[in-house]
Every structure is written in structure tokens, then in C-alpha cells.
């Protein structure tokens, strides 16, 4: 089970949204990290066969997905970033409708819908209309519909947007469990969503892949590039003009600002044991 992407390019007028992207995806969670406008959604729209590419190929088990057509789409579970739901449907009715669209037998659909509504913590409100749901609740409905039919390929575009911390953890853990038997592409700009579950991380910036690797490989490559500086809140803006600045932390000695770069100032305290994917992301994606 494999998706192989080769030299993928997509332009919208004068803007190049994807520039010669090549990737291989197999079973497990592949995190696609990048800021808004980096090309994540364009890549997803090509992988879901929603838009045409200008160049390149996308092969699923050595077959071009455009030639597979409906057979390929039957393998897909897709959760879009935009919330497009039928407000007059209840959560249960919407999932029954989506199950019918996917051609899932009614008996099997009933079992899956009940299980998924419990997983996304919507069982108690399953007969309430989606139009009255909060943004986070709608996100959970969209995730449930993506998982209907036990897809072989699961594509998630900002799946945890609007969720509270406990919901994010619950859904993240469930995705990690089901990913053992499917290809999962998890697109986000929130590093904490994927740092514990991704088998590898794909960082994208300005339509190009700028870095890939396992979390440990990426973290190991940051030795000597992360430091902390003492700071005051009123000095933060000035520091941001001089360095690539990450988070600000409250330490026993006072505030410390995290900086990343190839050359750290002499007064910076080197960070060795607590480097994380947030540092990697800042260095490769946000460091201009």
C-alpha cells in the first residue's frame, strides 16, 4: 500500500502553488506541516483528485490515480478544512447520508456510525441538528464521515481546528490507532497535533518541500541551533527583528525566549535535551 508522488507542479495564474513536489506515503501517519498558503491544501486537492495538476504523477500501488477514477475515490476518506454540512440534518442523519453516498451497506453503516459517534464524542447529541453545533462539533462530524467505510487512505486537512484540548487528544489518539492499517496524511500548522503520532514529518514552504524525516531525525539535526535568551516582554518585538523567535517560557530565573538559527548569540543558553519539533518547524519553515 503506497502513494508515490513525483515532480508534482500546480500553478494558479502567476502563482506556483506546488513546485516539483516528490513524496512517498505508506501506512502510518505522515504529518504535512506548513503555514497557511504553503501549498498544503493544493497538494490535498490533487491527492483527492479534486483538481488537475500541471505536471507530475500520483501513483497508488503503481497505478495513476486519474486512471483509477472511482475505484481510487472508493479508497479515500477525506476531511476538508472548510465545514460544508447540511444544517437541517442531525449528526446521525448526515452520517447515514454519507454512508449511502459511499455505497456502504445499511447494516454495516449502522454499526460504523454508532462506533464513530462515540469515538468523536457526539453520541449524546446524535439526533440534534448540525446547524446548532459549535465549530468544534462540526469538525468532529466531518472526521466521522471521513472514517466511514474503513478507507485505505485518510486525508485530513486541519482536523483538530476548533477542538478543545481533551477532544484533540482523544481524536489524535484514535487517528494513531487506525493509521496502522491505512495511509494517513495529516495536514496542519499546529506542531503539537502530530509530534507524538507521526512516523514522518513533511515540511512545506512556498510550494516546495523544505525538509522531511522522522521526528527523531529532524530533532537530532537541530543540535547547536537552539538557544534561549533572557528577555522582558517589552524587548520581545526587538528580538523578533534580530532572530527567529519561537516561544517565550517562564523559568525560575525569569522569562526566556527560544531562538533558532545557524549562528546563536554568545549570550544564548544552548538547548540540548529539550529540542522538539516546534524548534524544527521554526528553523526550516518560519526562519527567513
Closest to 239 measured CA to CA, from 266, 258, 262: 258
- Domain at 2-216: CATH code: 3.40.50.300
Q: Confidence class of residue 78 from pLDDT cuts 50, 70 and 90?
A: very high
For residue 288, what pLDDT is reported?
A: 62
Closest to 227 measured CA to CA, from 277, 276, 261: 261
Q: How far apart are CA 8 and CA 172, in angstroms?
A: 29
Q: Which of 18-27, 135-144, 164-173 has the highest mean pLDDT?
A: 18-27
Count of H helices and E strands in the chain? 10, 14
- Residues paired with residue 249 on neighbouring β-strands, in sequence order: 256
The predicted model gives 174-194 an average pLDDT of: 88
pLDDT tens profile 9-62: 999 999 999 999 999 999 999 999 998 889 999 999 999 999 999 999 999 999
The predicted model gives 172-184 an average pLDDT of: 87
| Least trusted range by pLDDT, from 20-29, 121-130, 229-238 | 229-238
| pLDDT greater at residue 240 or residue 96 | 96
> Is there a contact between 234 and 200 (Cβ–Cβ < 8 Å)?
no
For 110, other C-beta atoms within 10 Å of its C-beta total: 15
Please give the backbone phi and psi of residue 243, each rounded to the nearest 5 degrees, phi first. -135, 165
Q: Specify the pTM.
A: 0.89
Q: Which residue has the cell 514552504?
A: 205
Length of the chain: 288
Q: How far apart are CA 143 and CA 168, in angstroms?
A: 12
Q: How far apart are CA 288 and CA 282, in angstroms?
A: 10
| 3 state SS of 232 | coil
For residue 189, what pLDDT is reported?
A: 84
For residue 230, what pLDDT is reported?
A: 86
On the question of pLDDT at 83 being above 80, the answer is no
Amino acid at each position: 500500500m503506497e502513494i508515490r508522488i513525483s515532480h508534482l507542479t500546480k500553478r494558479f495564474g502567476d502563482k506556483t502553488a506546488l513546485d516539483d513536489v516528490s513524496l512517498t506515503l505508506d501506512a502510518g501517519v505522515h504529518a504535512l506541516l506548513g503555514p497557511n498558503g504553503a501549498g498544503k491544501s493544493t497538494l490535498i486537492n490533487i491527492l483527492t483528485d479534486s483538481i488537475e495538476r500541471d505536471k507530475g504523477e500520483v501513483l497508488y500501488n503503481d497505478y495513476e490515480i486519474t486512471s483509477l477514477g472511482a475505484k481510487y475515490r472508493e479508497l479515500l476518506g477525506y476531511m476538508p478544512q472548510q465545514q460544508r454540512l447540511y444544517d437541517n440534518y442531525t449528526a446521525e442523519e448526515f452520517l447515514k447520508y454519507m454512508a449511502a453516498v459511499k455505497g456502504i451497506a445499511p447494516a454495516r453503516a449502522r454499526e460504523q456510525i454508532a462506533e464513530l459517534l462515540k469515538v468523536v464524542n457526539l453520541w449524546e447529541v446524535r439526533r440534534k441538528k448540525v446547524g446548532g453545533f459549535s465549530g468544534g462539533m462540526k469538525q468532529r462530524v466531518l472526521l466521522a464521515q471521513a472514517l466511514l467505510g474503513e478507507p485505505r487512505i485518510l486525508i485530513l486537512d486541519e482536523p483538530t481546528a476548533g477542538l478543545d484540548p481533551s477532544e484533540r487528544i482523544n481524536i489524535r489518539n484514535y487517528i494513531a490507532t487506525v493509521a496502522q492499517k491505512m495511509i494517513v496524511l495529516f495536514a496542519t500548522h499546529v506542531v503539537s497535533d502530530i509530534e507524538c503520532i507521526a512516523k514522518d514529518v513533511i515540511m512545506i514552504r512556498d510550494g516546495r518541500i523544505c525538509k522531511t524525516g522522522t521526528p527523531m531525525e529532524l530533532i537530532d539535526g537541530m543540535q547547536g541551533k537552539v538557544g534561549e535568551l533572557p528577555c522582558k516582554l517589552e524587548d520581545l518585538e526587538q528580538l523578533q527583528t534580530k532572530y527567529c523567535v519561537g516561544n517565550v517560557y517562564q523559568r525560575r530565573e525569569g522569562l526566556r525566549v527560544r531562538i533558532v538559527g545557524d549562528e546563536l548569540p554568545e549570550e544564548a543558553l544552548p538547548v540540548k535535551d529539550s529540542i522538539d519539533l516546534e524548534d524544527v518547524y521554526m528553523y526550516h519553515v518560519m526562519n527567513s
